[in-house]
Amino acid sequence: MFLTIPTLMTWTRIVAIPLIVAVYYLPDLADATRNLVATIMFVVFAVTDWLDGFLARKLNQTSAFGAFLDPVADKFLVCAALLILVHMNRVHVLVALIIIGREIAISSLREWMAQIGAGKSVAVHMLGKIKTTVQMVAIPFLLYDGRLMGLLDTREWGTVLVWIAAALTVWSMVFYMQKALPEIRARVK
């Protein structure tokens, strides 16, 4: 099911990446406008993560390809946004390395575990969902980089949240590795 509505929504997250990056290279655009446009784009495309899964189940359009593409699109979107934020000195490079490194490590672990028939031992856990939620709140705050409704300093809150996301990232990676450890030990012997 390559061209279902949910899969097309997933593809939009991948297409969004160069569009969000391009916002920062448009000439004659004020910084506040760039930040607002990039934030709105990120939020809209991030919402499709929830919506495509909901629609896939509701319309009975789930597929193996969609199940593969969905987390790939999420990781591309988050990693691209983090790299933009590192480039603009809004996120410490250590945070980006932790989050991106974890995504690569856990994706590889899941692929290997699936190949050996033990994929369920590293299935998505609530801790990973919480980590993703914190990231998806922190990133738009940091992209916006201003005062929200004149009250909330989004860079300050975004920075706190992205460091919390980094801590949750490490915690969730340790959790998934511990779940996989018995299989790893059995295969290494």
Inter-residue contact 38 to 19 (CB < 8 Å): no
Beta strands in the chain (DSSP E): 147-148, 152-153
Instruction: Give residue 39's identity as a one-letter amino acid code.
Output: T
Pairs from 112-120 (Cβ < 8 Å, separation ≥ 24): 113/180, 113/183, 116/183, 116/187, 118/180, 118/183
Residues linked to residue 147 through DSSP beta bridges, in sequence order? 153
- In degrees, rounded to 5, the angle at the alpha carbon of residue 61 between the alpha carbons of residues 56 and 64 is 95
DSSP SS3 for 34: helix
Written as six digits, the tokens of 106 are: 């856990």
Per-residue model confidence (pLDDT) at position 148: 87
- pLDDT tens-digit readout, 26-74: 888 899 999 999 999 999 998 988 888 888 889 888 888 888 888 889 9
Per-residue model confidence (pLDDT) at position 102: 93
The pTM assigned to this predicted structure is: 0.89
Written as six digits, the tokens of 108 are: 């590889």
Per-residue model confidence (pLDDT) at position 182: 84
* Residue-by-residue DSSP string for 161-181: HHHHHHHHHHHHHHHHHHHHH
Over residues 149-166, the mean pLDDT reads: 94
Q: Which domains occur in the chain, in start order? A: 5-188 (1.20.120.1760)
- pLDDT tens-digit readout, 85-126: 999 999 999 999 999 999 999 888 888 888 877 777 677 778
Spatial neighbors of 69 by CB under 8 A, at least 6 apart, are 7, 10, 11
